[in-house]
Structure 1
Amino acid sequence: MADRPAPWPAAAPPPPGYLPPQRDQQLPSSYPGLPPRPVYREPHPVSALAVVSGLAATTVWFALFGSLGRDLASYAWWTIGAAVSAWLVSLLLAVLGDRGMAVGVAVASGAGLSLAMGFVAARWIGTQDWPLW
């Protein structure tokens, strides 16, 4: 059986200044005037409650506008009008108001418009007649 090789020598400690200072250690006196590290925070944080409120309000908005339509064409046009006005409100909320509410309004209006356009596309595919004219 072969002899065991000699173990590796222990690693030498790194040279001074190689490792960053630990939290409990103070910086050397050669750095006296450094300001503390900045902490970046969102000035207007988005909360989940605001997003859900925007979703709920826009769902009611689309239900009210959609109920005004008598057939698919009028439903689609009312939904397009509701989506355009909701996007304008969302833009206004994003600039001046609550960003969470703006996100909820934008998401719900996109979903509502997609649903209406899905109905329009299904009618168009099924009958080969564009229902919005």
Structure 2
Amino acid sequence: MRTTTGLFPGGPPRPIFREPFPVRGGAVALGMVGGGLWMMLFGLLASTAGGYAWITIIAGVVAWLVALALVRTGDRGAAVGIAMSAAVGLSIAMIVVAVRWVGGDWILW
């Protein structure tokens, strides 16, 4: 290691910032599985396309509230997985609504 000339003093080392609760892949995967099961079980309760859309919207909002609570308490990996699963479930429900809407039937009213 070379010694410095003194023209550019070294100074103290830069601080290293670390996450207090790092996001781990396993927690994200478990959150995705849990969120996927949540959305699937609520989707299976519906008997019509309109019922499926409304139940999925309600289940997605509840899942996002749970994800926000998990972010607040520190398990951000599971919160990410749950939010991703809820987003996929809501996207599928909105595709069903859009397909029925293109066919001339608005199923949300």
TM-score (norm 1): 0.73
What are the equivalent positions in structure 2 for 1:121-132 lying under 5 Å apart? 121-126=98-103, 128-132=104-108
Cα offset for 1:124? Answer: 1.0
Q: Which amino acid aligns with 1:105?
A: I
RMSD: 1.8
Give the equivalent residue in structure 2 for 1:79: 56
Give the equivalent residue in structure 2 for 1:40: 17
Give the equivalent residue in structure 2 for 1:70: 47
Percent identical across equivalent pairs? 48
Give the equivalent residue in structure 2 for 1:20: none
Cα offset for 1:26? Answer: 4.9
Aligned equivalents of 1:103, 1:42: Cα separation in 2: 15
Q: Which among 33, 36, 40 is matched to residue 56 of structure 1?
A: 33
Aligned equivalents of 1:76, 1:107: Cα separation in 2: 18
Q: Deviations over 1:41-69 (max 9, x none)?
A: 22211111111111000000011101110
Check the 8 A contact 2:42/2:56 in 1, yes or no.
yes
Aligned residues: 108
Which has the larger share of helix? 2
Q: Which structure is richer in relative contact order (CA contacts within 8 A, separation 6 or more)?
A: 2
Larger Rg: 1
Aligned equivalents of 2:48, 2:21: Cα separation in 1: 42
Give 5+ residue unaligned stretches, structure 2: none
TM-score (norm 2): 0.88
Q: Which amino acid aligns with 1:129?
A: D
Q: Which amino acid aligns with 2:56?
A: T
Q: Which among 90, 93, 98 is matched to residue 75 of structure 2?
A: 98
Check the 8 A contact 2:21/2:74 in 1, yes or no.
no
Aligned equivalents of 2:101, 2:82: Cα separation in 1: 28
